[in-house]
Amino acid sequence: MTKLLFPLFLVLFAFGACAHAPMSGVTEAGSRVEIGKGDPPPGFTELGAFEVADPPVCANDAKAGTEEGARVALRNRAGQLGADYVQIFRTASDPCNRVVIRAIAFKRAGD
């Protein structure tokens, strides 16, 4: 019986560890940022608007960016700004095939 439970325990432990791991490429500060399309909860102050893109610059290889890559960049930049919440107001592609996200950063009042 113990021989059967041990592999099951290892599998459950592995899934539990992955569930709490940050997305690939996200910094520690970026992992604390909440992202949404709606207004922030009450008690937040605006830090300002910003935009990020994936890839960050137009490349000669014309490789298309991804929304996942742009969201990683969004989290990391918001973390650098000290934001706690980011409101996305536009996601689009530009002529270089980059995914560009425009957003507003907010911080909890009193932090």
| pLDDT digit string, tens, across residues 77-95 | 999 999 999 999 999 999 9
Question: Which two tokens mark 99?
Answer: 């995914």
Domains in the chain, ordered, with CATH?
Answer: 2-108 (3.30.110.70)
pTM for the whole structure: 0.76
In the block, residue with structure tokens 């290889």: 61
The string of pLDDT tens digits covering residues 35-60 is 999 999 999 999 999 999 999 998 78
How far from each other are the two terminal CA atoms of the chain, in whole angstroms? 52
